[in-house]
Amino acid sequence: MGFLDGIVKGLAEIVPDQGNPELKAYKAKNELDDIAAKENAIFARLGRQVYADGGAEAYPAVKTELEAVAALRKDVENRIRVAQEETDAKKAAEQAAEARRCSQCGAVNPESAAFCQSCGNRLASPKRFCSQCGAEQPADSRFCNECGTRIE
Ligand SMILES: [Zn+2]
Ligand SMILES: [Zn+2]
């Protein structure tokens, strides 16, 4: 059932039919749609059951179709995963850019810059060190690469 059908159906339920035969027929047809949907759901359940109980061997054409659908699903899931990774990478890049933003003028500087390229303000050091052994840590490390202490 389409989105608009749902709205029209909702209205039909609110408006009293007042003996209007067209409205009565409309309501009844909607009830038929609901019944058909229930029937389809039952058949779908039966189909899954039959397929699980050896139907894959009994109906090789269905198996082929379902495998094609599964391949499509995998492809779409893969696209979702890639898009999610791209989103994460974009966010990380934005955060990294934010971290290199000059507190004085707002300019974003290269990672290695010690002074703002725009205004010459000294930039906060992005370097991090282990509180335990003092070893320098990569920006994203969570544990010291020398002694394993958690990096705050
Ligand atoms: Zn600046
Ligand atoms: Zn350490």
CA 69 to ligand 1 center in whole angstroms: 55
CA 35 to ligand 1 center in whole angstroms: 68
Q: Which domain holds residue 21?
A: 1-57
**Looking at residue 70, what is its pLDDT?**
97
CA 92 to ligand 1 center in whole angstroms: 22
* Cα gap 83→77, rounded to integer Å: 10
pLDDT band per the 50, 70, 90 thresholds, residue 152: confident
Q: How many domains does the chain have?
A: 1
Q: Please give the C-alpha separations between residue 92 and each of 11, 27, 62, 115, 137, in angstroms, as whole numbers.
A: 48, 54, 44, 22, 18
- The DSSP letter of residue 122 is B
Higher pLDDT, 126 or 21: 21
CA 118 to ligand 1 center in whole angstroms: 5
**Looking at residue 53, what is its pLDDT?**
95
* Exposure of 97 in the CB half-sphere (CA atoms within 13 A): 9
* Cα gap 24→16, rounded to integer Å: 10
User: Has residue 98 been placed in a domain?
Assistant: no
Ligand lying nearest the CA atom of residue 136: 2
Question: Which residue matches tokens 């389809």?
Answer: 40
CA 128 to ligand 1 center in whole angstroms: 22
pLDDT tens per residue across span 66-107: 999 999 999 999 999 999 999 999 999 888 888 788 989 999
CA 143 to ligand 2 center in whole angstroms: 8
User: Has residue 45 been placed in a domain?
Assistant: yes
User: Has residue 36 been placed in a domain?
Assistant: yes
User: Has residue 149 been placed in a domain?
Assistant: no
Ligand lying nearest the CA atom of residue 118: 1
Q: What is the pTM of this model?
A: 0.47
User: Has residue 43 been placed in a domain?
Assistant: yes
User: Has residue 48 been placed in a domain?
Assistant: yes
Higher pLDDT, 80 or 122: 80
User: Has residue 14 been placed in a domain?
Assistant: yes
Q: What is the mean pLDDT of the chain?
A: 88
Alpha helices in the chain (DSSP H): 3-14, 21-50, 56-58, 60-99
